Amino acid sequence: MINDLRPPAMEPAELIWRDGVPESARFGDVYFSRDDGLAETRYVFIERNGLPGRFAKLDRNSHFVIAETGFGTGLNFLATWAEWLAQRPDDQDHAILHFISVERYPLALADLEKALESWPGLQPLARELIENYPPLIKGTHRLVLGGGAIRLTLCFGDVLDAWNELEFVADAWFLDGFAPSLNPDMWLEKAIHQIRAHSQPGTTLATFTSVGRVRRALADEGFEMAKVPGFGRKREMLTGRLPTSEEVTAPTVGTDPIVIIGAGIAGAALARNLAERGVPVVLADQASGPGAGASGNDQGALYVKLGVEYNDQTELAATALCFSQRFYQRWQGEFWYPCGLLQLAATDQEQDRQKRFLERSSYPENLLAAVSPTEASRIAGIPVQCEGLWFPGSGWLQPARACKTLIEHPLIRTIFGFKADTLRWTDNHWVIQASDGRSLRAAKVVVAAGHESTALAPVPKGQSLRLKPIRGQVTRIPADGCRFPDVVICGTKYLNPAYDGSAITGATFDLRNDNPEPTPEGHQENLDQLRELLPSINISEHIQAEHLEGRVAFRCATHDYQPVAGPCPDNNEISRTGVYLLTGFGSKGLVWAPLLAEYLADRICQQPACLNTRLARRVETGRLYRNQLTV
């Protein structure tokens, strides 16, 4: 089975257990010391990098970055997290520990759980890691833990690719990739060169090995290396430090409020993210409350369509889906209902697409699995005619409620009824002028106003932004009108499970229609396509399009149907930085918002980015600028 694995599935580590200690069958080495793994981790990595003192004296609102080669069982990570808590017990100081680790052969979840049972003292932290451990797919996974104080960037892939593709500067390194004689790849000069490239004066490193070749290679890169006594029976180990004459301190996040325009799911997710990092936010919207636009429906599915090939676009979508499933966990039952989602192959075209998708890629079953019509029917609780893909960790949300809940935070101030008209650089500030004469000033502004962002984002003369509104009408089906599924069903249209006496289906996709009111034709289209997708739900004859309720909203799509998150380009005419865009989510805002808010907050706060450079390039803002003369 493992030989059949295609990307993005990762080959899991094959473990041999001896006396409760896991050993790698591939490398023939232990993951941690047989004597006392936790004590060894503390001695080698935590103390020899001087972390207790460095953690303790870190400024409030600042951050510390540790990079590790070989995540393995996560023991080093958990011990470091525990040390962070010991040194910084105040959970309101907004300092963040970024821990970046790479793993070529990740442990299967069950193995991770078993390995971590050995450390009762680390238990609550181990549980949180296990609950957030990503499905084993290639790529960069950001885990937000400990209420946001701990941000683990876990790269499943080879060490060289990871260090090539990530942007960060480490304060300390844990070099822990099995002995160089057993795993020479991890200790190649190229890899050591990358370690230097991601370091700065004052960066330290520690490794259990004392091999001369490793010491010389690190010294050649400029590290002042020292041999010090090893742990337990090991005679020696290595430490290193990039010399500096002065102390380097990490930037702290500013305490000036950032203005976000737009209180839909994009703006709300970003406001929450920044606030939890200690950044005050002013969130302004023209409507009288949050989620008034495309994020205002009563039900929305957490859904993406993954591409047949595992290219950058598919990787971005899969990363966003996994991140959003983790992100919403904390609001389960409040506005998030992870009942699972079936993506049916309802047309010949989709059947062919899913067939090719399954031939070319492998995914772990906790992310998605192919299901027959019989299995799909059992899962859905209603007869289903076609096969499809089952996403057990997906489900549906109440988007309007999500927006409302996300912005409830003491560091978020909301201003509703504020219709921003212009954004100009005046007197060393960005000034946002509203139509009623009010204005807001800030050094940093994020435009998250859906298709209305076009009017606000700074665009040089003669250019425009390639954003367009796409009308979507949803229809509410009363509970006595049909048999509802137990899970979300997506095909040509989607249907949610019933909640509070009805369920939402939709949505239409009207490119050239700007009618803000629901129409009977729109409801009819939704009903007809639902009948075709799920004949067995028996939509009752008394359901008539002209009597149904619904809602219309305008999604914001980019020319390439990919989202956008990042700073607006700095060019001759707009020579001031500090304006960012977060929009273009189309009908997938619930999936895109959590990850891209995390990414944009990383950039605004100058912290390690949760997207690798390939994926960051896909969401950059520059591609949206079009010369109006060329079409």
Amino acid making up residue 523: H
Nearer to ligand SAM, 42 or 94 (CB): 42
Determine contact, residues 157/139, Cβ cutoff 8 Å: yes
- Assigned token pair, 533: 């997708």
Strands 139-145, 150-156: pairing kind: antiparallel
Determine contact, residues 416/285, Cβ cutoff 8 Å: yes
* Cβ at position 160, least distance to ligand SAM in Å: 7
- Assigned token pair, 443: 């050094």
Nearer to ligand SAM, 178 or 592 (CB): 178
* Cβ at position 52, least distance to ligand SAM in Å: 18
Would you give the DSSP letter of residue 577? Answer: -
- The residues near 348 (Cβ < 8 Å, ≥ 6 apart) are none
Nearer to ligand SAM, 24 or 343 (CB): 24
Half-sphere exposure of 224 (CA within 13 A, CB side): 8
Query: Among residues 299, 295, 298, which one has the least CA distance to residue 553?
Result: 295
Bond prior to 507 in cis (omega within 30° of 0): yes
Nearer to ligand SAM, 108 or 543 (CB): 108
* Cβ at position 69, least distance to ligand SAM in Å: 6
For CA atoms 539, 544, 547, 551, the dihedral sign is positive
Nearer to ligand SAM, 115 or 619 (CB): 115
**DSSP β-bridge partners for residue 433:** 422, 439
Nearer to ligand SAM, 186 or 282 (CB): 186
* Cβ at position 595, least distance to ligand SAM in Å: 23
Half-sphere exposure of 568 (CA within 13 A, CB side): 28
Residues in the chain: 631
* Cβ at position 108, least distance to ligand SAM in Å: 12
Nearer to ligand SAM, 183 or 508 (CB): 183
For CA atoms 389, 395, 399, 403, the dihedral sign is negative
User: Phi/psi at 539 (nearest 5 deg)?
Assistant: -65, 125
Query: Among residues 275, 506, 514, 278, which one has the least CA distance to residue 399?
Result: 506
Nearer to ligand SAM, 139 or 177 (CB): 177
* Cβ at position 192, least distance to ligand SAM in Å: 13
* Cβ at position 145, least distance to ligand SAM in Å: 16
Nearer to ligand SAM, 74 or 262 (CB): 74
* Cβ at position 162, least distance to ligand SAM in Å: 7
Q: Which residue's Cβ lies closest to ligand SAM?
A: 70
3-class SS at 580?
strand
Nearer to ligand SAM, 61 or 204 (CB): 204
List strands edge to edge, sheet with 467-478. Answer: 369-371, 388-391, 341-344, 488-490, 494-495, 502-506, 467-478, 549-558
* Cβ at position 231, least distance to ligand SAM in Å: 13
* Cβ at position 39, least distance to ligand SAM in Å: 13
* Cβ at position 485, least distance to ligand SAM in Å: 41
Nearer to ligand SAM, 126 or 456 (CB): 126
Nearer to ligand SAM, 142 or 277 (CB): 142
* Cβ at position 451, least distance to ligand SAM in Å: 42
Tell me, rounded to whole angstroms, the distance of Cα 91 from its chain centroid.
Answer: 23
Nearer to ligand SAM, 163 or 391 (CB): 163
Determine contact, residues 488/498, Cβ cutoff 8 Å: no
Query: Among residues 193, 249, 252, 250, which one has the least CA distance to residue 223?
Result: 193
Task: Locate all alpha helices (DSSP H) within 21-141, ordered by sequence.
Answer: 37-41, 51-56, 75-87, 109-116, 123-132
User: Phi/psi at 302 (nearest 5 deg)?
Assistant: -90, 95
Half-sphere exposure of 404 (CA within 13 A, CB side): 13
- Assigned token pair, 615: 């994926």
Binding site for ligand SAM (CB under 6 A): 13, 31-32, 68, 70-76, 102-105, 158-159, 176-178, 183, 185-186
- Strand intervals (E) in 448-559: 463-465, 467-478, 488-490, 494-495, 502-506, 549-558
Tokens 């599915």, residue located: 301
Nearer to ligand SAM, 207 or 558 (CB): 207
Long-range contacts of 450-453 (CB under 8 A, 24+ apart): 450/262, 450/264, 450/266, 450/293, 450/294, 450/554, 450/555, 450/556, 450/583, 451/554, 451/555, 451/556, 451/583, 452/262, 453/261, 453/262, 453/556, 453/581, 453/583
* Cβ at position 191, least distance to ligand SAM in Å: 8
* Cβ at position 155, least distance to ligand SAM in Å: 8
Nearer to ligand SAM, 185 or 236 (CB): 185
* Cβ at position 70, least distance to ligand SAM in Å: 3
